[in-house]
Amino acid sequence: MPKFAPRMSRIVGSATLRMNNLAAQKRATGADVVSFTVGEPDFDTPEPIKEGAIKALRAGRTKYTPTSGIPELRKAIADVAAREQGIPCTAKNVLVAPAKQSLFYAFQALVGQGDEVLIPDPAWVSYDPMVRWAHGTPIPVPLEAATGFRMTPEAVAKAITPRTRVVVLNSPANPTGGANTPDDVKGILSLAIEHDLWVISDEIYRHLQYDGKPLSPASLPGGFERTWTIDGPSKSYAMTGWRMGWIIAPESCIEAADRLQSQSLSNATSFAQDGVVTALTGPQDSVAAMKAEFLARRDLMVAGLRALPGVTCPTPAGAFYAFPHFDAKQWGGLDDTALAMALLDKANVATTPGSAFGARGTGHLRLSYACSRERIAEGLKRMAAFQGAL
């Protein structure tokens, strides 16, 4: 067989999606698996949003759209960002693309050979490979459980070198649920201004912050011109399968992302864009209702984890992940990968090993609590039984 291109050695598959696939495979054999793997709300997309897309389909909105997105959606996104995030933007500052794809464009547009990109450690599994794919060097910024996994300006300052080009913020964060304080965001933006860095601010969990309030760096003086804000409806409107999202950035950045999009995706799915217009312009009560339920699940998950021997778990301020540490001495000497595999094999509980999220995730598991309270309680019961039998 002919060989793949050398660049393929720079990309690994997503560990979160891999664990999700393993759980699905086991389920397909008839096993009753409790899945705490993928970060995806168990709720169905609210009915009015579906109706918006169905109406668009019926009206024949099934053709290519402008590459940056339909004007109504770009305007709706800009209006929400200005109102809720305080970002000084208009429709011209918006490109519609799935959130993951949006991040891919951002790294492709900003990162060159040998450029250093500061990413949180632990962080969501896709930043590191996306930076490498752009020929950049990911530089981990250590986050501490003791501070609730905030990304502090002090830790960022220590990681800056003359080669630093981009700093990535993700708050509330995957996989820790940590949230940066407004002072963290202000301090990191000051550093970005001082060192002339780009900022990529992944705010996809901004609706799901339970403690404290989110602050967008693009809303601060000197922030907008250097920040790519990434957002989308997947988590807050239960729309993961729609593959939608957006970039908010200066016009020159949108023009760059538009060029990348025009040569890859062409445009986000036409009728799905209409569904998102409905989501953003319609009643927002389902967002609040889902958030309230996630908060109840968080409290159940965290309390249950803390009751397990050898487990420490900071309270996640947002998103729908808990990121507890497991003392291997009380968990059969298993490291996080072995523990995740054993829990799946023996207890039918699927989790993601913390080391998939960076060196500082070692010894942790990520548990997504985007599933029902009954399943959370059942999974915790199985984990306790598994530990008791070790």
Q: Kindly list the residues in this chain that would bind ligand PMP in the complex (CB under 6 A).
A: 39, 98-100, 124, 170, 174, 202, 204, 232, 234, 240, 245
Q: Which of 23, 33, 34, 38 binds ligand GLU (CB under 6 A)?
A: 38
CA quadruple 111, 150, 358, 204: dihedral sign: negative
Residue in the block written with tokens 């957006």: 246
Chain centre distance of CA 232: 10
Contacting range for ligand GLU; rule: CB under 6 A; set: 14-22, 76-84, 252-260, 343-351: 14-22
Residues 76-115 binding ligand GLU (CB under 6 A) are 100
Q: Nearer Cβ to ligand GLU, position 17 or 338? A: 17
Nearest distance in Å: CB 282, ligand PMP: 19
| 39 binds ligand GLU, rule: CB under 6 A | yes
The minimum distance between CB 280 and ligand GLU, in angstroms, equals 21
Q: Which two tokens stand for residue 226?
A: 């250097």
- Sequence-distant (≥ 6) Cβ neighbours of residue 235 within 8 angstroms: 39, 41, 204, 205, 207, 208, 319, 320
| Shortest separation between residue 173's beta carbon and ligand PMP, angstroms | 7
Token pair of 58 as six digits: 């019926």
Q: Which two tokens stand for residue 325?
A: 């540490």
Q: For ligand PMP, which is the closer residue by CB, 180 or 234? A: 234
Least CB distance from residue 70 to ligand PMP, whole Å? 18
- Identify what 14 binds: ligand PMP, ligand GLU, none; CB under 5 to 8 Å per kind: ligand GLU
Segment lying near ligand GLU (by CB under 6 A), choices 2-10, 11-19, 143-151, 288-296: 11-19
| Partner residues linked to 352 by β-bridges | 366
Question: Nearer to ligand PMP by C-beta: 13 or 222?
Answer: 13
CB of 370 to ligand GLU, least distance (A): 9
Closer of 102 and 174 to ligand GLU (Cβ)? 174
Decide which of ligand GLU, ligand PMP, none touches 125; Cβ closer than 5 to 8 Å per partner kind. ligand GLU
Q: Which does 176 bind (CB under 5 to 8 A by kind): ligand PMP, ligand GLU, none?
A: none
The stretch near ligand GLU (CB under 6 A) out of 3-11, 69-77, 123-131, 290-298 is 123-131
Place of tokens 């992302």: 257
Q: State which H helix or E strand residue 305 sits in.
A: helix 285-306
CB of 342 to ligand PMP, least distance (A): 25
Which residue, 209 or 234, has its beta carbon nearer to ligand PMP? Answer: 234
- Minimum CB separation of residue 10 from ligand PMP in Å reads 20
Q: Which of 35, 93, 174, 219 binds ligand GLU (CB under 6 A)?
A: 174
Give the contacts of 187 (CB within 8 A, at least 6 positions apart): 152, 153, 156
> Can you say whether the dihedral through the CA atoms of 339, 345, 349, 351 is positive or negative?
positive
Which residue's CB is nearer to ligand PMP, number 153 or number 178? 178
The least distance separating ligand GLU from the CB of residue 171, rounded to whole angstroms, comes to 15
- Name 321's Cβ contacts closer than 8 Å, sequence gap at least 6: 39, 174, 175, 176, 177, 366, 367, 368, 369
Angle at 240 between CA 238 and CA 245, to 5 degrees: 100
Compute CA distances 71 → 76, 84, 226, 239, 246, whole Å.
9, 20, 24, 21, 13
The one among 14, 21, 108, 147 contacting ligand GLU by CB under 6 A? 14
Q: How far is 77 from 112, CA to CA, in rounded Å?
A: 29
Task: State how far the alpha carbon of 261 is from the alpha carbons of 106, 108, 264, 271, 365, in Å.
Answer: 11, 11, 5, 18, 35
For the bound state, the minimum distance from the C-beta of residue 2 to ligand GLU, rounded and expressed in Å, comes to 30
d(CA 236, CA 39) in angstroms, rounded, equals 12
Which residues of this protein are in contact with ligand GLU, per CB under 6 A? 14, 16-17, 38-39, 100, 124-126, 174
